[in-house]
Amino acid sequence: MAGTKYEILDPETGRLDPSIYTDDDIYRREMTHIFGRAWLLIGHESLIPNPGDFFHTYMGEDPVILSRGSDGSVNALLNMCRHRGARLVRADDGNCNNFVCSYHAWTYDLDGTLGYVPGEQEVYHGELDRSKLGLKRARVATYAGLIFATWAEDAPSLEDYLGDARWYLDMEFNRSGKGTYAVGPHKWIQPINWKTAVDNCSDWYHVPVSHASAANAMFRVLGEPRFTHDRLFQMRGRAAFVNGHQVQYFKMPEDSLAAESKAIPTATAEDDTAEAVERLGEFRAKSVVLGTHSLFPNTVLGFRLAIPRGPLKTEFWHFALASNADTPEQQREVLRVHTARNGVTGHFEADDVDNWRQVSESGLSGTYRELGQRVNLGIGHSHTDDVFPGMLSDNFVSENNHRFFYQRWQEFMNADSWADISLDPQKAQYEGTAGMNE
Amino acid sequence: MSDQDDERWTTAGRVGDLAEGDSMVVTSPGCPVRALFLAEGDYYALDDVCSHGRSSLSEGFVDGTAVECVLHGALFDLRTGKALTMPATVPMTTYPVRVSDGEILVRDRPHEN
């Protein structure tokens, strides 16, 4: 099995093997080759503001404690006791001085150091080397308040992992020096493969169809024309792809038909422009609007984690992200809109889940596996640009990003180590003062 | 002889029978049931049965020069019959309408398209 090389996508025809959604061996391999290697979004600084704060999260199927040390540092610790594997933290979040295992009371500091073991002299005879038995630590890095972690010692820096995708992501996450804060999560489980929710981020082709009734209601309330196929095909943004990350964007004013709609999600306050110009430069602050996006492997929109629980089981953790620069009314509006459209209560969500379930389950049919899916929209219609980073779709409505996502998936699955995984060259020009954490 | 002499036209009613935004059903032997609308000052006639499902467009809501089917909310352009929104995808057949001596006449034969 270790030697298997996966070839699940034919980029010439778009033929995609649907067993990637249902096969147990493939799923197991994803856990080591993707979730064991990639930088995974695990939380946000605002969830652990004070020393002693902890937030329970996951890296793949691994339970992880996200903790704030007494020195203010951020720790990501495997939530499994080094003794017999029991869970240290049994709550969603909280504040404490240390983590005590409920089995034998092995006690770990906030940074995972094994600080105390009962009977260390009496029954371990002083033979225990506590310094080698701390909780397993993941590498942690942050970007604009978002906390990422990886198990891979040989992974590139988070900055290199995001690469030129950050040129786009800054426009949502880095507009204000006051930063963002996370609300939530809402947590719920769906009988789908995690990848279908991620590739859907770049899928606009389905919007007037799957979301017909929800869109009708929304556009009626907004006082805008109905969202028809005609209107969709007039939208002029692009789908961009960098290092596995998918970003849809609109350039103003040429793509104004898209961006003038209040239906396009943005996370910006109306009067943040001056600060955004300082931090991002005039062009990014004013001329580019971000659409739907995802981070490789399993982070969706802004932000939701698609946590794998099995080939046909995914647990969603859905956060709303509000800006500290917004007024309380604006913050409430962001949260209201966020839960109205997507999330466990979202109007659009219900339409999407049905699609994801069917796409996922298509892998159960031997007959259909022989046919394969055809992720074929926009083949041969992509280009690059001197200003806009990444591989760009010629049309806003495209499945280029879907195909690139599965190629990236294949690259991780077939790699023996990070040495075999490529990063796109970094060419983006960053204006303004915003950095990874400034 | 002009085309019109060879054509059959059905009298749907008289000017004044329909208020702006209103509709009525038009029946004539050998023809599908039609729906007649007065929208933005002009008369339009379409097949009454929605191309998407078993619903009567004459019960629909007129919005400008479009009609919205009551069953699933599909919009059709009254001028061309075009399906403007999901879930409808098949256009409606349209019929010429003319007014003569205060009578509203709908041609039995549809528009060519």
**Residues A112 and A207 reside in one and the same domain:** no
Is residue A125 part of the annotated active site? The answer reads: no
pLDDT-derived band at B6 (thresholds 50, 70, 90) equals confident
Q: What is the CATH number of the domain that holds A123?
A: 2.102.10.10
In this structure, the answer to whether residues A286 and A233 fall within a common structural domain is: yes
Predicted local distance difference test score (pLDDT) of residue A264? 56
Are B36 and B97 spatial neighbours (Cβ–Cβ below 8 Å)?
yes
Helices in A37-157 by DSSP H: which ranges? Answer: none
Give pLDDT, residue B2: 40
- The answer to whether A203 is a known catalytic residue is yes
Same domain, A111 and A193: no
User: What is the per-residue pLDDT for A179?
Assistant: 87
Of A208, A209, A216, the CB nearest to B73: A216
Supply the DSSP string of A388-415, one letter for each residue: S-SEEESSSS-SHHHHHHHHHHHHHHH-
Q: Are B44 and B97 in contact (CB under 8 A)?
A: yes
- Residue that has been written with the tokens 């996922």 in this structure: A360
Any catalytic annotation for residue A211?
yes
Are both A187 and A263 inside the same structural domain?
Answer: yes
* Torsion angle (degrees, nearest 10) of CA A39, A41, A45, A50: -90
Residues A216 and A323 in one domain: yes
Contact call for A212 and B84, based on CB within 8 A: no
A51 and A172 housed in the same domain = no
A207 with A313, same domain: the answer is: yes
Which value, in Å, is the radius of gyration of the alpha carbons in chain B? Answer: 13
Domain count, chain A: 2
Cα separations in angstroms, A149 against A64, A66, A172, A381: 10, 10, 21, 35
Under 8 Å between Cβ of A370 and A362 = no
State yes or no: pLDDT of B4 exceeds 60: no
Residue A25 lies in a domain: no
Residues A339 and A394 in one domain: yes
Name the stretches of chain A with pLDDT < 50.
Answer: 1, 266-269
Residue A180 and residue A57 share a domain = no
What pLDDT is stored for residue A305 in this prediction? 95
| Omega within 30 of 0 (cis) for the link into A63 | no
| Mean pLDDT estimate for chain B | 94
Rounded to 5 degrees, what are φ and ψ at A360?
-60, -45
Residue of A203, A255, A326, A351 marked catalytic:
A203
The residue among B72, B75, B85 with the most chain A CBs within 10 A of its CB, best to mutate, is B85
Cis? peptide before A208, omega within 30° of 0:
no
| Six-digit token string for A436 | 């990874």
**Domain identity same for A123 and A174:** no
Same structural domain for residues A269 and A299?
A: yes
Please report where in the chains the tokens 């195909």 appear, as a residue. Answer: A403
Residue A410 located in a structural domain = yes
CATH number for B3-107: choose from 1.10.1740.10, 3.40.50.460, 2.102.10.10, 2.60.120.20.
2.102.10.10
Q: What is the pLDDT of residue B5?
A: 66
Interface membership of A213 toward B (CB under 8 Å) = yes
Instruction: Name the catalytic one among A44, A211, A245, A402.
Output: A211
CB contact under 8 A, B85 and A213: no
Predicted confidence (pLDDT) at residue B107 exceeds the cutoff of 60: yes
Chain A nearest C-alpha distance from B86 (Å)? 6
How many CB atoms sit inside 10 A of residue A370's CB? Answer: 7
Q: Are B2 and B23 in contact (CB under 8 A)?
A: no
Q: Residues A321, A284: one domain?
A: yes
> What pTM was estimated for this model as a whole?
0.91
Q: Show residues of chain B in contact with A213, CB under 8 Å.
A: 72-73
**Tokens standing for A50?**
């004070």
Segments forming the whole domain that contains residue A103: 40-141
Domain boundaries of chain B, sorted by first residue: 3-107
Q: Which tens digit of pLDDT belongs to each residue from A66-99? A: 999 999 999 999 999 999 999 999 999 999 999 9
CB atoms within 10 A of CB A35: 22
> What are the Cα distances from residue A57, in Å, to A54, A79, A307, A314?
10, 9, 10, 14
Phi-psi region for residue A193, left (φ > 0), alpha (ψ -120 to 50) or beta? Answer: beta
Helices and strands counted in chain B (H then E) = 1, 10
A60 part of a folded domain? yes
Query: Residue A288 maps to which CATH number?
Result: 3.90.380.10
